[in-house]
């Protein structure tokens, strides 16, 4: 028993909101706020980042595993209610949160050790940021993926401008503008996850990874592949958006949000009209920012995207729609935000350019 305890050194901190353990050959990060669906706050980010950097340098650590506690969520996103309150009060936390969160996203994207995210349950926004940039992402039948930010006056950040335009066809543009939810095996089919494993096998998979002796990246990939191949749930199910991909590719290839809306109207199918209804509820400013963010991000590196997104985040903190979106969706829960400007026409090119402006010495440094 004593041996086991020595091998398993654990830091508990800040009421244990995140657990950092060395187990076998792996560093294991557990997001541990199940009551809040493991939403990410600044304290958690400040614990994960240095530990990730340490493990990356440690010759005894061969892989990093990140997972969520409680079984319901991997991570439902950043703790945005707190950020909105801080942003409205003009507190520095709104700057610090986005800066340190994006720095962590970048550290995961450039991590030299294999990084395995077990994205079981709800994985949205900030939860996507601490998983999708890693080398391996394992979905289960309980996975629910979304980037729902346009509904709260934000934009799909945490590197969304990098990974979304790189999904097949115009799928990423569709997911970004509508906040469409992908579930289970569809998270794998879309390219968000690299593997799919039945959730009842997730514990065994983790134990098998931890038990590897000085594994190479290939050894880790082999274990994941073996579990993926053996997974049974929804094995023969086709991708939920498969039949709509031609429509998505043609409608969402336009260069303006107005033209995308026009395309959906012209298409007239029940799928297109359903998406139209969704898009019309979103913040007009967010829609325009998001389309431009993805178009620009499609040819940028992850680092360049995060620098761009930091500028956008700070402009949103100083704007109206983010705080109004958080009020309507998370605080009063009336689900009827009053966006300003209220329609796309009123969001001018000039407004848009101001969101993308350099912050000079306040720009994100990576």
Active-site amino acid positions = 78, 126, 149, 157
Q: Dmax over Cα atoms in the chain, in whole Å? A: 69
3-class secondary-structure state, position 51: helix
Distances (CA, A) of 13 to 35, 147, 177, 301: 17, 29, 37, 34
Token pair of 335 as six digits: 């689900």
3-class secondary-structure state, position 104: helix
DSSP class of residue 341?
Answer: S
3-state helix vs strand vs coil in the chain, percent to 5: 55, 15, 35
Distances (CA, A) of 118 to 33, 62, 73, 131: 16, 17, 10, 8
3-class secondary-structure state, position 248: helix
Element spanning 207, H or E: helix 202-210
Q: Are 103 and 65 in contact (CB under 8 A)?
A: no
Q: What's the length of the chain?
A: 366
Question: Could you identify the residue written with the tokens 């469409």?
Answer: 180
3-class secondary-structure state, position 335: coil
| Alpha helices per DSSP H over 231-301 | 245-251, 257-267, 270-279, 284-297
Q: What are the two backbone dihedrals, phi and then psi, of residue 60, each rounded to the nearest 5 degrees? A: -90, -10
- Compute the Cα dihedral for 206, 208, 214, 219 and give only its sign: negative
Separation of CA 89 from chain center: 26
**29: β partners:** 20, 66
Q: How far apart, in whole angstroms, are the C-alpha atoms of residue 61 and residue 64?
A: 8
């Amino acid at each position: 028993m004593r041996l086991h305890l020595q091998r398993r050194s654990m830091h508990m901190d800040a009421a244990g909101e995140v657990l950092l353990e060395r187990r076998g050959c792996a560093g294991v990060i557990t997001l541990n706020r199940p009551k809040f669906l493991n939403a990410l706050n600044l304290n958690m980010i400040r614990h994960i980042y240095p530990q990730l950097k340490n493990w990356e340098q440690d010759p005894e650590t061969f892989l990093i595993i990140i997972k969520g506690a409680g079984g319901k969520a991997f991570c439902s996103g950043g703790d945005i209610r707190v950020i909105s309150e801080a942003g409205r009060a003009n507190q520095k936390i709104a700057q610090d949160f986005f800066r340190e969160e994006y720095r962590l996203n970048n550290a995961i994207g450039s991590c030299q050790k294999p990084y395995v995210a077990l994205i079981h349950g709800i994985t949205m926004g900030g939860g996507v940021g601490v998983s999708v940039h890693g080398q391996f992402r394992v979905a289960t039948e309980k996975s629910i993926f979304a980037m729902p930010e346009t509904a709260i006056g934000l934009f799909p950040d945490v590197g969304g401008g990098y990974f979304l335009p790189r999904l097949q066809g115009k799928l990423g543009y569709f997911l970004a503008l509508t906040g469409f939810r992908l579930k289970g095996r569809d998270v794998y089919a879309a390219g968000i996850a690299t593997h799919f494993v039945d959730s009842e096998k997730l514990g065994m998979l983790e134990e098998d990874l931890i038990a590897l002796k000085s594994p190479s990246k290939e050894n880790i990939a082999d274990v994941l592949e073996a579990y993926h191949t053996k997974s049974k749930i929804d094995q023969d199910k086709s991708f939920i958006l498969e039949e709509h991909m031609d429509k998505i590719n043609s409608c969402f290839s336009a260069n303006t949000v107005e033209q995308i809306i026009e395309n959906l109207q012209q298409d007239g199918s029940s799928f297109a009209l359903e998406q139209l209804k969704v898009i019309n509820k979103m913040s007009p400013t967010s829609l325009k920012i998001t389309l431009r963010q993805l178009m620009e991000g499609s040819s940028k590196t992850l680092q360049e995207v995060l620098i761009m997104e930091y500028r956008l985040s700070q402009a949103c903190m100083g704007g109206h729609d983010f705080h109004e979106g958080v009020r309507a969706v998370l605080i009063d829960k009336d689900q009827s935000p009053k966006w300003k400007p209220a329609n796309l026409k009123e969001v001018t090119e000039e407004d848009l350019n101001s969101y993308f402006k350099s912050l000079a010495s306040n720009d994100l440094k990576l």
